[in-house]
Structure formats: structure tokens, C-alpha cells
């Protein structure tokens, strides 16, 4: 078992070393700061642009504070709503699994360096092994810090295959929306884009208004099943 953890740690170190080199060598940081320059830069990597885009999505999950909305939009802009969704989903799934694995291997000390303490305390109830439905629902809520959730769930008793299913399916709606936004913008479909923006804005407004109530209900349900308030890292 100890050898397994050592090999996993070495593999992760090698992966991040290569990822960091590619991130700075190819100026991938522009994807998070300048959308137009990002599109121009990504297309210049043809025929490897799809691979680089997937790597971009992986990195934006692992480095959780980096927003993924820009990269999701770029995916739809470059590849259309279907391939954009497929490529984004591949990257998000791999990135989510790696974040989950990192937390599982290195434990609470690593997670505390990535996830804000108040966020970890606020959502510690998802650490319970009975929280599969709860975790899936959290992935569905717009605006919820899903990348942080991957690290938090890595501390739980949840099995990796279960995590992969709920994280992939839970992220899918948002991925489709962002890819569709990008596709409409590229094709100058302003009226469909305006309609989709209005629809998404309504969903976000409802989520913003009721999110705290939903999260409180989820916490109450988790506490009811567990017989008391959970403790992070327990």
C-alpha cells in the first residue's frame, strides 16, 4: 500500500512538472486573460489544438481558482456546440479525476492549501459516504465551486468510478451552455445568443436567490442521515 502511494505521488509530480512546462512554454496563461488572443494562439497550434484545448480544461480544474467559463466558451467558439462540448467534457472529466486523486493521495494538508478554509468548513458535509445524491446535486447548482468540490470529495469515502459519473454528468449542462454560447458568437447568431443569455440569466438568478435555501436543505438532510454535524477530515 505504501509503495502504491509513493508511485502515485511520483506520477502526479511528473504530470504537474510536464503540465507546468507546457503551460509557460506555450503561453497558455493567455487563455485566462485575453479571449481573442487565446483563440488566435490556440488555432496556431493546428493540428494539435484539440489536444492543447483539452489540456487547458484539465489545468483549469486542477488549479481550482482559475475560472472555466472562458475556456468553455472558447471550445464552442472554435469547435462548435457538439465537439466543443465533447472536448470540454473530456478535459473536465480528466481534471476532476486528477483533483479527486490528489486529495485522496495527499489528504487534508494539500486540500487546505487549495480550498479556502471557510469553503471547506461550509461544505464538509459532502465528505459523508452517504452523500452521492447530495454531491451530484451540488454539481448541478450554477455558480457552485465545482472544482473545489472535486478536492473535497477526494477526502471522502466515495469511490472514483462513482465520482467520475456524478462529476461528469453534473457538469454537462453548464458545458453545453458555454459551448453553445461560443458557437452562437462565432456565427454572429445574435438573436439566439440573446435568447440563450436570457434563459441562462434566469436560471442563474433563480439559483442565486434559492441557493442558500437549497444548500441548507442539503446540509439538514446530510446531518439527519449522519446523526450529527460532520467534521472535515474526520
Sign of the CA dihedral running 39, 173, 150, 158: negative
- The confidence score (pLDDT) of residue 233 equals 42
What is the per-residue pLDDT across 173-213, written as a single tens digit (0 to 9) for each? 889 988 988 888 877 777 776 776 676 666 666 666 666 66
Query: How far is CA 172 from each of CA 5, 37, 141, 165, rounded to the nearest angstrom?
Result: 31, 26, 12, 11
Gap between the Cα atoms of 192 and 155, Å rounded: 42
Q: Where is mean pLDDT largest: 88-102, 103-117, 122-136, 148-162?
A: 88-102
- Residues 126, 149: contact at Cβ < 8 Å? yes
- For residues 223 and 128, what is the distance between their CA atoms, to the nearest angstrom? 9
**Residue 110 pLDDT > 70:** yes
- The whole-number pLDDT of residue 96 equals 94
What's the whole-model pTM score?
A: 0.71
pLDDT for residue 161? 92
Q: CA torsion, points 97, 98, 103, 105, in degrees to nearest 10?
A: 110
- pLDDT, residue 52, reads 85
- Give percent above pLDDT 90 in the chain: 18
Q: Give me the mean pLDDT over the 140-157 stretch.
A: 84
Which of the pair, 20 or 70, is modelled with greater confidence? 70
The closest of 15, 77, 13 to 43, measured between CA atoms, is 77
Q: What is the pLDDT of residue 98?
A: 93
Per-residue model confidence as pLDDT tens digits over 33-84: 555 666 666 666 677 788 888 988 998 898 866 667 778 888 898 899 999 9
The proportion of the chain whose per-residue pLDDT surpasses 70, expressed as a percent, equals: 58
Amino acid at each position: 500500500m505504501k509503495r502504491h502511494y509513493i508511485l502515485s505521488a511520483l506520477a502526479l509530480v511528473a504530470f504537474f512538472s510536464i503540465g507546468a512546462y507546457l503551460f509557460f512554454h506555450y503561453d497558455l496563461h493567455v487563455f485566462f486573460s485575453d479571449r481573442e488572443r487565446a483563440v488566435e494562439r490556440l488555432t496556431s497550434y493546428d493540428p494539435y489544438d484539440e489536444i492543447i484545448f483539452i489540456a487547458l480544461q484539465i489545468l483549469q480544474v486542477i488549479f481550482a481558482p482559475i475560472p472555466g467559463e472562458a475556456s468553455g466558451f472558447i471550445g464552442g467558439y472554435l469547435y462548435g456546440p457538439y465537439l466543443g462540448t465533447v472536448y470540454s467534457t473530456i478535459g473536465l472529466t480528466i481534471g476532476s479525476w486528477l483533483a479527486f486523486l490528489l486529495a485522496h493521495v495527499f489528504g487534508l494538508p494539500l486540500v487546505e492549501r487549495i480550498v479556502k478554509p471557510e469553503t471547506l468548513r461550509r461544505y464538509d458535509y459532502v465528505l459523508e459516504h452517504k452523500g452521492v445524491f447530495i454531491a451530484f446535486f451540488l454539481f448541478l447548482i450554477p455558480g457552485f465551486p465545482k472544482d473545489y468540490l472535486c478536492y473535497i470529495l477526494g477526502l471522502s469515502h466515495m469511490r472514483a468510478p462513482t465520482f467520475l459519473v456524478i462529476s461528469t454528468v453534473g457538469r454537462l449542462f453548464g458545458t453545453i451552455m458555454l459551448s453553445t454560447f461560443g458557437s452562437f458568437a462565432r456565427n454572429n447568431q445574435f438573436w439566439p445568443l440573446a435568447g440563450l443569455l436570457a434563459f441562462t440569466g434566469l436560471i442563474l438568478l433563480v439559483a442565486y436567490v434559492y441557493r442558500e435555501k437549497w444548500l441548507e436543505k442539503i446540509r439538514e438532510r446530510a446531518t439527519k442521515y449522519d446523526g450529527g454535524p460532520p467534521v472535515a477530515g474526520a
